[in-house]
Amino acid sequence: WTELIPMQQLDPDSHHFLPCSDDNVWSHLRFHIHPDGGVARLRVFGTPYIDPANVEGRDIDLVATLNGGRIIAYSDAHYGTYHRLLAPGRGQNMGDGWETRRRRGPGHDWIILALGMRGTISRAVVDTAYFKGNFPDSCSIQAINLQMTGVDIGEEAIQRSESWPTLLNQHKLSADSVHEFLYNEVNDLGPATHVRLNIFPDGGVSRLRLFGHAT
């Protein structure tokens, strides 16, 4: 097997964060300890890889964490756990999602996400589970197809995201509800790689789902 991290010295009762520069796709790991002893936890951080050939023709959640979706940037994430916005299942409480603080001035909050793979979005779900007095008044979604390697888009592209094409026009939201927007409400923009969820003016969203086909 390929060595990803060479032998490292470990300390007692400690966290050890070991960098790995290999950018290949892997399905299995073998973890060695020398010569013996105890390890409490092993965590392996990275980005899920979904082979588009394996989902060809299937309707999938293109932005789900399990399908490789990632959060790139946001205007604010004062409360909650923002990365849970793309997690499986419904939120379990008000801290299980993305929530921004109350705005004291003009403007609105937003979050930018990379799809797990380039795809055409035909249906969107915005879930405000457990957000009752602090759900957004409304939301909209923008999308763009960027020709690039990787998902990180840089500060300049983030600043330009306000002018991305509109995937979903601004719609009212309700407290503690699943809002499903079907193909007749989602604009046909063709393939996309990144999306921007806007909430007006602020508040909490538990989950975002963007269903479509990989292209």
Mean pLDDT estimate for the chain: 94
Q: What is the pLDDT of residue 147?
A: 85
Domains parsed from the chain with CATH numbers: 52-214 (2.60.120.260)
| pLDDT per residue as tens digits for the range 109-153 | 999 999 999 999 999 999 999 999 999 999 999 999 998 766 678
Cis peptide before 201 (omega within 30 of 0): yes
**Token pair recorded at residue 204:** 């909490």
**How many of the other CB atoms lie within 10 Å of CB of 17?**
6
Predicted confidence band at 54 (pLDDT cuts at 50, 70, 90)?
A: confident
Burial pattern 178-193, b for ≥16 Cβ within 10 A else e, equals eeebeeeebeebebbb
Is the model's pLDDT at 98 over the cut of 70? yes
Task: Report phi then psi at 211, rounded to 5.
Answer: -95, 145
pTM of the model: 0.86
Q: How far apart are CA 70 and CA 199, in angstroms?
A: 18
Report pLDDT digits (tens) over 158-205: 999 999 999 999 999 999 999 999 999 999 999 999 999 999 999 999
Taking the C-alpha atoms of residue 31 and residue 138, their distance in angstroms, rounded to an integer, is 48
